[in-house]
Structure 1
Amino acid sequence: MAFDRRLDTFSLAALLVSAHYGLGFVLGTAEKSLTLGTAGSLYAVSLGLGTIVLLGLAKFYWRQAEQIWTLLGSAYGDVVKVFVSLMSWSSLIGIEAVQLISGAFILKVFGIPTLPTMVVLAILFAIISLLPIEKAGWILRGLLVLNFLALLYGLWALHAFGDYLRSPIEFAQSLQHVSLPTTVGISLPTILLVLIDMKYQQFVVQAKDLQSLYRGCTLAAILILLLALLPSTVVVAAHNAGILPVGIDGKETLPYILAWIGGGTQKPLGIALIVSLLIPALGLGSSILRVQSKTVLDFNILPASVWSRIFVTTVNTLFGLAVAFKGGEIINLIVYFYAAYVGGVFVPFVAYLVAQTERYNFSKTSVKLSLFVSSFSSIGLLIITLINPNFSLLNSVELGIMGIGILSGVFFLLVGELLEKYFLKSEVEEKV
């Protein structure tokens, strides 16, 4: 696949940051921080760590210049391509829904009903997703700066710059009070997701050269880690200052704080600060829809045209709206879908990477069997969890979803190899 490789270091870093720095990142971190303190930044910090780990595969993706499902499909067949792309597509619907849920809770501070809010945000997502990527990059850079300034103003108003400088130490200490399954359940799926996430790949392959690629990924990781601790520091500082009302919903924590800092929801500054929380959603929401549309259009079911892209984008937007009504805790809902995708695709992808080293080639039958079973297992457990939130394995819903997928994937990859080498081979020899 040919790409117009024109992204320099700063353009690539801005787009990589915008791929994950949305309402889930900001409001989800704030929601967690209300009960976990600075440890609420675990998900956001994991995204930064995942971007660092991505450096190990960045050159591979840049040279291949293909989506993960195209790579696996070329090696193991079109059925694998379709299955992997559908797994990616389904996970993105859930992530888009999270952005809509978050946006609805932000504007709920103004007393605006959630349904109209979700509809308007969905329309904005769709419009920006249809813009050329270069224009979107400049827009998102400006939007990220605005949101960053709003959080910095929150630190200044709460006299919490010293707290922010100490936040890395506070983060490490507060993690000791979080159970190990919870810590691993949030961090591991998130880090692994970054390695196989098309939202990142679509920008990585457009770096103009390897130097821009490595510098852009490194800069993005640094920026994400710096941004990760901002929302949690603001929430902790506000809690210590006693400005949060008893029983406040975690999703409304940051909007409430910014409204308080700005003098209330009736004041221009308060309105501006609250609205600034919506801005990162435009980056991630539009990025998600762009990838979803590309996934569907790559099947070549519809003719290549602007109208086909608009139609597919509209359908994907409606799916996101439908899922948004389910609700749930922001970070948990995000990682549930991450875990399902990682659980279904990670083992076949590792098998593909092993084959690239020419040390061992798993058979097509083995990889297909692994992909099918792991995908159905992780998606099945995800559906059960959404229906019954109290159900979990390994003392962590996220770890359970990913674990059942990876373990079943490894098991049936080996089963497939045994079948291929001993049973299927024997049948062929007998016929000969």
Structure 2
Amino acid sequence: MNHTETRQLGFFSLAALLVSAHYGLGFVLGTAEKALTLGWAGSLYPISIALGTLILLVFARFYWRSVEPIWTLLGNRYGYTVKVLVGIMSWLSLIGIFAVQIIAGAFILKVLDLPVQPSMLGLALVFLLSSILPIEKASWLFRGLLGFNILALLYAIAKLHAVPLYLHAPMDFIPALHQMSPPALIGISLSTVLLVLIDMKYHQFVVQAKNMRSLYLGCVLAAILFLFLALLPSAVVIASQTAGILPTDIDGKAIIPWILLWLGGGANHLGGQLLILSLIVPALGVGSSILRVQTKVVLDFELISDSQPNRLLVVIINTGLGLAVALKGGSIISLIILFYAVYVATVWVPFAAYLVDETGGYTFASSSVRLALIISGFSAVAMLILTLIKPGAAFFNSAELSIIMLGMGFGCLGLGVGEIIEKYLPISPIKEEL
């Protein structure tokens, strides 16, 4: 395949696509939810995305030249088992993102006085059905409506006379972080930054940049746009609190839908209905898209045959898992980062081993990398399940940091033990077909 045929993205198009990869309902509603209690510190997650996008410049040339996704690179070097395991961890990380779409949709409907849990069940069914229909052709509509939401948030800031507040936000952000515990601060920022550096949602666009100049400028512009967007939801929430317009019992997840409804004149006015639709329709598009990606990952690795009944079974299982996580509840940002942390904790050690090999530093045995991947994946997933069931089990009161420490720690241990076994113990290795 001639990859130059697909390298057509200029820097502006690349930046827009990179932003679209992370700017969604989880980004908007989740940031607003955090801002209700943390103020400007609620923007830590989106600002970490901006920081990660800047640091991506270090890896951008490598990705652009390699073209292939991480699971293919690692699989070609260390064997098919590694390729499948990395793909499975990518699939697992999407469960949390899908759950967030269900939660976001349910709380959008909540402002219309619809009950949350029945809404989650209904939305899960709608996502399931839409994932097997060809609505991905309308992806331009979903992205356009999210773009419309940006304008709506800017209008909300103007309506609340909060433009000076928003412009001063960059100076207020750093001091606001002091109210967060150091483990929570490190857990959220580290998980997000490390995820961005190995995020396959980013990778698919990075490799399509038409040249290195477009690649670097696109990443820088995307980071700047993220910084601009990161403070918008928090500014709307803080301005609304200052104006005293928020109901005292409002859930943080429902703040942005409530404000948009308020801007549109209420649920009985066309303006309010259109603004709510502009939120719920993108949720439909993103949710169904995630289910299709998860199904593709499972079928691409030929774990089961690609037949219509199997496709439907995979979609049903994925929907059920996402719904179970959504019904468990929790903060939107916390859910996103918990599942990100599992992927980061599992994949980064094998990927680092690959990078060390690429730079000529040291060549790790395939068996060592497989062992590291298996041990780190098992420990990270176990910690994820434990913290979902019993949040108090996390180290330092930070589930994200606990998952990263445990997963990466055991991954490094597995890599070291694997090298010792490979070099010093007389065990005949079983060669895996690459």
Task: Return the TM-score normalized by structure 1.
Answer: 0.90
Q: Secondary structure at the match of 2:397?
A: coil
C-alpha separation in 2, matches of 1:260 and 1:323: 30
Equivalence map 1:150-161=2 (5 Å): 150-161=152-163
Q: Which residue is 1:116 aligned to?
A: 122
Is 2:281 the counterpart of 1:275?
Answer: no
Distance 2:298 2:102 in 1: 22
> What is the rounded CA distance, in whole Å, between the counterparts of 1:150 and 1:169 in structure 2?
24
Amino acid at match of 1:61: Y
RMSD: 2.5
Aligned to 1:366: 368
Q: Secondary structure at the match of 1:409?
A: helix
Q: For 1:102-131, what per-residue CA distance to the aligned partner results, in whole angstroms no more than 9, with x for missing partners?
A: 111111111234122343355456657743
Alignment of 1:322-361 (within 5 A): 322-361=324-363
Of 48-57 and 205-214, the range deviating more from structure 2: 205-214
The residue aligned with 2:293 is 291
Instruction: Provide closer, same or farther for how the CA distance between residues 156 and 172 of structure 1 changes in structure 2, counting only shifts above 3 A.
Output: same
Q: Tell whether 2:260 aligns with 1:258.
A: yes
Paired residues of 1:258 and 1:274 also in contact (CA < 8 A): yes
Structure 1 residue 281: Cα displacement = 3.2
How far did 1:251 drift?
A: 1.1
The question of whether the paired residues in 1 share the 8 Å contact of 2:160 and 2:239 is answered with yes
Q: 1:220 deviation in Å?
A: 1.6
1:144 to 143, 146, 158: 146
What per-residue deviation string (whole Å, max 9, x for no partner) do you get for residues 302-338 of structure 1?
6779998788666644543444322211111111101
Equivalent position amino acid for 1:275 in 2: L
CA–CA distance in structure 1, aligned partners of residues 212 and 315 of structure 2: 32
CA shift for structure 1 position 276: 2.7
For residues 304 and 379 of structure 1, the distance between their equivalents in structure 2, rounded to whole angstroms, comes to 27
CA distance in 2, matches of 1:36, 1:391: 23
Distance 1:6 1:271, change over 3 A: same
Q: Secondary structure at the match of 2:391?
A: coil
Q: 1:32 aligns with which of 27, 31, 34?
A: 34
Q: Which residue of 2 aligns with 1:388?
A: 390
Residue 76 of structure 1 corresponds to which residue in structure 2? 78
Structure 1 residue 163 corresponds to structure 2 residue 165? yes
Residue among 179, 193, 196 paired with 1:191: 193
Offset at residue 206 of structure 1 (A): 2.2
Helix, strand or coil: the match of 2:43?
Answer: helix
Return the match for 2:404 from 402, 405, 410: 402
1:214 counterpart (210, 213, 216): 216
Number of positions where the alignment pairs a residue of Structure 1 with one of Structure 2: 423
CA gap of 1:210–1:317, structure 2 versus 1, over 3 A, is farther
Q: In structure 2, how many angstroms separate the alpha carbons of the residues matched to 1:203 and 1:316?
A: 25
Cα distance between partner residues in 2 of 1:414 and 1:316 = 35
Inter-CA distance 315–387: structure 2 relative to 1 (3 Å threshold): closer
Q: Please give the alpha-carbon distance, in whole angstroms, between the structure 2 residues aligned to 1:119 and 1:182.
A: 34
**Gaps in structure 1 of 5+ consecutive residues:** none
For 2:61, the equivalent position in structure 1 comes to: 59
Percent identity between the two aligned chains: 57
1:324-364 CA deviation, whole Å, 9 max, x = no partner? 32221111111110111111111111000110001111111
SS in structure 2 at match of 1:264 = coil
Matched residue type, 2:88: L
